Structure formats: structure tokens, C-alpha cells
Chains A and B, each alone.
Chain A
């Protein structure tokens, strides 16, 4: 809900229900595709389709303006994590050129009850997040790439999501916005 105080208060939605629903989705995809690479791809695609819609919710709720600097973008993505997942990742590891940064977080509501079995060590369980970020940024005329460099499911200490700025989509910028 873009507004708190309406019928469904966002804070009152149980995160376990969300965790389990996402788990069911991934398990079903594994059943349907067998090939782990295909599952990764599907998750990314689903995320993309969510991202291009979710961005409107984010904009309507926060009323944020356009980013003219990737550091702004990083902060807005951080806000997005807080709004939609209830976690606040830390922004670290800026590249010298200022076009790449990492989001680090320990608590990940998507993986709360998850252990990866041996046969799907290549599974990118949280790939949906990558799709969401890509889709959302594309709608505000920014092309980015992102990937997980550390993953607690793969026995790393934290989750580290790397985000890289590729280019502004100049053609797509609406009139009166550039």
C-alpha cells in the first residue's frame, strides 16, 4: 500500500508469510525447470516485472525527485529496502569512479528459513531482488547491473549486493524532465 493508515497497514503484514510464499515460488520453479540456470533467469525476469511496477509505488509514497548522482540513487535504493523489506542495508565499497557500490545486510527476510541443498549450489536464491532493482531503475531512465558477491546461503558472513551504473537512458527521459 502506498499509504500507511489505509486498510492494509504495511507494517502489519507478517514477514514470515512473505518468506514462505517466496520459498514456495522458488521451489515450484525448481520443480518446473530442473535446470538451476533457468530458475535463476526466471527469478530475474519476475523481479524485473515487479520492479517496473513497484517503482511507481516507491515514488508515490516517498515523493522523491530525480537522482542526478549515483550516491542519491544508492540512498534511495536503501530507502526502498527499508520500505518494502524492513531492512536497512549499509552502503559501502564505493568504486573510485563513483559508479559502483555495495549494499551489505545481514538479516534477509527472503532467506530466513532457507538452507540450500547440494544439488542447487548454483541457485541464486535471491535473484528476484536483482530483477527488481534493474526494472525499477530502468523506469526512471537508468540502466544498472547488479549481482550478489557475498551470500549468507553460500556461507559468507553477510549478503553483499553489488550495484553498477551503466548509463542513463537518454532517449527514454520524458519531455520536461531532462
Chain B
């Protein structure tokens, strides 16, 4: 029973809150000999495995360190290009560390504003009048639950498919928002929520739901 994250999208479609709750961190370090038996590609300012999946290093994972030195973009800290390095047989064996790519805040904002029109389109496409828009979006590895309030704010929870009690959880998050974000006199509407009390209460709530399901929510 895992909840991966909580997102709040404002009436105008902007991401005003996100919380990564329980995203398993996948990291693998291995020693490689020349020539490298993985195909790497540079995209979106990251070095990504494009082909050759083995021992926990999967397609899509990102190269984060070479011999313990962090990789920034396509370069090492000392300014050396990683692809040049991997072409030089005398540098091997090399210890390469891969991990799953994490979403940056910008990417999250981008995705949140993408969900907004999807939600609207869904309600337009409906064969029946008065359709609510997307409430649950299911994939093989997760389920996205969305609850829109009458005022147009969307609460989104991404969780494991087997996690139960999400509907109650969404309403509880709404209550927390009404209490700890809106009653904070220094919070202005439609702006990103930076309220510590809100975060700590949300954290407790999520842990309770994960531990014992909806009953304690």
C-alpha cells in the first residue's frame, strides 16, 4: 500500500502544491569494462540509457555518477565530457551509477497544467451530459485519483493500484487545505502553498492511510 504523491491544481490550472510521499529511490552502481555494453543517449540535459537493460539498470535510467563523481548535464564536475571519457579504453574499468530520473519542479508544473485540459476534454467527450471529468486514471503501475471541488480546485493523489480509501483521503486533504492553507492569513489564494502546518498534517494523514487504510483517515 503506497501513496506516491499528492498534487493540488488551482482553478486556473497552475500547480499550487506538490508533495512526493513515497517514491522508491532506485539506484544502481556497477563496474563496467571497455567497451560499454549499454547504449547511452543525451537528452533533456541528462544522460539516459537508451538500450541494453540488465541487472536493475533499465532503459530510461539516468547516469548520475562516474567513479563517484557527480554528472552534471553531460559533463563531470571537472568539466570533462562523459561521452568522450567513455570512448577512451584506458579509463576503464569505470564505476557508473544509474538511478531513475526524478521529476523536476518545472516538469511537475508542466504536467499539472497538461492534466487540466485533459480533464476538460474528458468532460466534453462524454456521451452523457454533465460529465464530471477524469476521476480515476489507471495505468499498470499506478492509479491517479482526482477530486475537483465546487470552487474548481483539483486534488490529485497518485497511488499504487491496490491502495484503498483514496476517496476519503482526497476529502481529508481538502479539509486540511481549508484549515491550514486558507485559514493562514499570510496565504494568498491561487498562490503556491508554502504552509508548514499543512505539510506536516498532510504527512501524518498519508502515513495513517498507508498503515491502516481508510478507516483512520
Contact = CB atoms under 8 A, between A and B. Distances in A.
A82 interface: no
A176 B119 contact: yes
Dominant secondary structure of chain A at its interface with chain B: loop
A173 B11 CA distance: 10
Contacts, number: 64
Interface in A67-109: none
Contacts of A140: 150-151
B182 A53 contact: yes
Interface in B112-170: 119-120, 122-124, 130-133, 148-153
Interface residues of B, number: 25
A61 B133 contact: no
Contacts of B178: 2, 56-57, 59-61
Q: Which of B119, B120, B130, B175 has the most CB of A within 10 A?
A: B175
A176 B117 CA distance: 11
A63 interface: yes
Interface in A125-144: 139-140
B179 interface: yes
Interface string A158-174: 00000000000000111
A177 B182 contact: no
Interface of A: 1-3, 52-53, 55-57, 59-61, 63, 65-66, 139-140, 172-178
Contacts of B92: none
A175 B119 contact: yes
Contacts of B100: none
B17 interface: no
